[in-house]
Structure 1
């Protein structure tokens, strides 16, 4: 049989041990993380009283040069057909409306034929309706017959508008429609033209190739401006806004630093990378900035007077920023602090320190080693 008194004694003993452990842990957590420096260690330590200074928070991000998507056109055929000739080559500068290639399309020929037939029907029904009005005015035919002929005319005019819209969708303009109506000759050749002025940066078509309306045959880009694109970690997304000052440097162009402002900050976080996309626009009149170049984007905030701390004073303990604060001539306490983004060699103090407090700016590493040694001892 089990001894209930023994079980009770064991449980009380275990509870006492747990209480002692928690008490010791709490006492250790509440104890100041202090260290007393030896005379030799004091010689390696430099202490200053922190104060205010002019800071400009900045953030450096890896970036890349990309095309300005508002200045890019992907040009394709408006109808299924076969390419019979191409005039455009990679790197060529083109004007808006300039012909890039020619397309032969039986679909276009069928649509033109339907347009001409419908035009002819409209003309016939228009004459019939006009004749019916004259006959009705002379009491030769009843009103019902005149209305019937007018109804047929209306239906044919609807068919003509449909055929006209179809030709416009297939790429024919007003001048082409006027020529077709005048000459009444089917032309199955259709030019593929540039929709914007710029440079051909991509071409995916050859003579004899059969293309569909969904195919992008040419990409034309205005390279007078390009984007610098960077991915901002979501933890810092609140810190960046459209219009913030920024600068960009490109390793392959060391003497071409560009200053400007952010023109776009995404409103959504990319779920796969947990980042927010930002864009900076830079002028590129000489085309020295080429898409896909690697770059560094620096985002800056307006400078202000803030409580600051030298970067050399900061040490990382348990993945947090700490500094050693002098509490007496030879005693120093490790204190956690909240700091802003690094600006050169200084950090803005967000919490944990007051103006005038003395902190170690040289020798923190040796002090922390001494603290750890005593803690282990």
Structure 2
């Protein structure tokens, strides 16, 4: 009787287990994202709770190499004139003060004549004032006449200075003005000179062309230091600030990593692209970097609290990231997630998990193979 009772109990337990197994099998058959692994496989799985952690996120934004605007000079004519000679070529290295082109200007000639006339009038009025002073001392003329002659001299002196200042505004050096005053030789040709030492990177003039002071004829740049600039989306701009470490990858240099620091974070948002300009400075003494080269800027953002999972917990299905979430009774469900790129073996959860779930962190690949196998068998 006792043995019969034991047999009945054993049968009941086995029946219950079979019913549970049947229930799990039915659950799996109805939902392809669910898998109930065998006990042997289940014992090999390692689970962990999804938690938050401080993450030093790296922002990757597209950028480019650009001129250092503090080392660029846009050089134009100081006077209206016709181009008679072009001395500088594109790519030529020039020093400050080197002549880039020559212009012939009738305006310059007229201003030189105005200066010579003012200087001649000044000499005449100076002599008249000196003579008037001698006559006044000899009691030949009165004080009023002396004051009139001295006033004429002061006016002529001011007019001569104004004419000299006008010549300087037209690009004539003080030495050239002094030479003009002593020799009286008018020269209508004026040079266009480099105001910065560097490389001629732009030339916008042709022989015989008439140019105006507003025209930019040459652009000279010091390429020993350049900028790397990028546009950070406004949603992420709060993660960056001046002084942060930056890594620059330049495809033209085989994605060689160049390290720098952010020297500028824009204060305004571009209304069209919804981005903010950031900038770093790079040494280019060897000349390998060229303006307009494409680059990727990797910015080490300040640490923030984010949901994080191990990279090894992720499985790819149909080019989408998934993880296995443990449910009751040994059931595991494949859940679609959106994650950031891998960083030091961890990935930030962007969507799909809320935190607190228990996921498979070791053995997810084998568990997914088991799920696929049973799904094929069911099909």
What TM-score results when the alignment is normalised by the length of structure 1? 0.75
Pairing of 1:363-374 with structure 2 (within 5 A): none
Pairing of 1:38-77 with structure 2 (within 5 A): 38-40=35-37, 47-49=47-49, 55-77=55-77
Question: How far off its partner does 1:305 sit?
Answer: 10
CA-to-aligned-CA distance 1:230-258 (integer Å, 9 cap, x gap): 11111111111111100111112116321
Q: Hey, what's the Cα distance between the residues in 2 that align with 1:340 and 1:157? A: 76
- In structure 2, do the counterparts of structure 1 residues 59 and 128 end up closer, same or farther at CA, with 3 Å as the change threshold? same
Question: Which residue in 2 is equivalent to 1:7?
Answer: none
CA-to-aligned-CA distance 1:78-101 (integer Å, 9 cap, x gap): 101111111111111111111111
Q: Hey, what's the Cα distance between the residues in 2 that align with 1:144 and 1:290? A: 72
Question: Which residue in 1 is equivalent to 2:268?
Answer: 268
Which of the pair has more CA radius of gyration?
2
Pairing of 1:136-285 with structure 2 (within 5 A): 136-254=136-254, 256-285=256-285
Structure 1: which 5+ residue stretches go unaligned?
1-35, 316-320, 370-377
SS in 1 for 2:276: strand
Q: Hey, what's the Cα distance between the residues in 2 that align with 1:206 and 1:341? A: 53
2:78/2:171 contact within 8 Å kept: yes
Question: How far off its partner does 1:339 sit?
Answer: 9.1
Question: How far off its partner does 1:46 sit?
Answer: 5.5
- In structure 2, do the counterparts of structure 1 residues 358 and 115 end up closer, same or farther at CA, with 3 Å as the change threshold? same
Question: Which residue in 2 is equivalent to 1:290?
Answer: 290
1:56/1:343 contact within 8 Å kept: no
Q: Hey, what's the Cα distance between the residues in 2 that align with 1:60 and 1:218? A: 35
Pairing of 1:13-28 with structure 2 (within 5 A): none
Which segment is superposed worse, 43-52 or 226-235? 43-52
CA-to-aligned-CA distance 1:111-143 (integer Å, 9 cap, x gap): 111011111111211222222222223332222
Question: Which residue in 1 is equivalent to 2:85?
Answer: 85
2:77/2:217 contact within 8 Å kept: yes
Q: Hey, what's the Cα distance between the residues in 2 that align with 1:308 and 1:338? A: 12
Q: Hey, what's the Cα distance between the residues in 2 that align with 1:267 and 1:64? A: 20
Which segment is superposed worse, 323-332 or 222-231? 323-332
2:203/2:219 contact within 8 Å kept: yes
Q: Hey, what's the Cα distance between the residues in 2 that align with 1:324 and 1:205? A: 68
CA-to-aligned-CA distance 1:47-95 (integer Å, 9 cap, x gap): 2245687743210011111111111111111101111111111111111
Structure 2: which 5+ residue stretches go unaligned?
1-32, 316-320, 372-379
- In structure 2, do the counterparts of structure 1 residues 62 and 126 end up closer, same or farther at CA, with 3 Å as the change threshold? same
- In structure 2, do the counterparts of structure 1 residues 303 and 38 end up closer, same or farther at CA, with 3 Å as the change threshold? closer
CA-to-aligned-CA distance 1:285-321 (integer Å, 9 cap, x gap): 2221111111111001467998743357689xxxxx9
2:262/2:279 contact within 8 Å kept: yes
Question: How far off its partner does 1:188 sit?
Answer: 0.8
Q: Hey, what's the Cα distance between the residues in 1 that align with 2:158 and 2:112? A: 16
1:66/1:292 contact within 8 Å kept: yes
